[in-house]
Amino acid sequence: MSKPVIAAREPAVQELEPSTYYWCACGRSKNQPFCDGSHQGTGFEPLAFEITERKQVALCQCKHTANPPWCDGTHNRL
């Protein structure tokens, strides 16, 4: 498997409603940080995650976090 594309070197800070979301792991989505199906044929798969209550989150866009889909600051070392 190749390395993911770095979509951005900053987290996507968003307020999310309760739902299931699909985080883009490949970095190719035009709908960052969420999957739009652009991973087809790359060997990457989106990561499903659930939000159970409305809250603000910081989602990784560099795609190198050790705790996907959450930003852990890895973008500062790329």
Q: What is the pLDDT of residues 32-70, one digit of tens each?
A: 999 999 999 999 999 999 999 999 999 999 999 999 999
Q: How confident is the model at residue 2 (pLDDT cuts 50, 70, 90)?
A: confident
What is the percent of the chain where pLDDT is above 90? 97
Domain containing 30 equals 12-77
Q: What is the mean pLDDT of the chain?
A: 97
Q: Which residues, 6+ apart, have CB-to-CB distance to 33 below 8 Å? A: 7, 12, 23, 24, 59, 60, 61, 69
Is residue 1, in this structure, part of any structural domain at all?
no
What local confidence, expressed as pLDDT, does residue 43 receive?
Answer: 94
Distance CA 26, CA 1 (A): 10
Distance CA 28, CA 5 (A): 6
Is residue 3, in this structure, part of any structural domain at all?
no
Is residue 2, in this structure, part of any structural domain at all?
no
* Total tally of structural domains belonging to the chain: 1
Cα separation values, 11 from 1, 40, 41, 42, 43, Å: 24, 24, 26, 23, 23
Is residue 25, in this structure, part of any structural domain at all?
yes
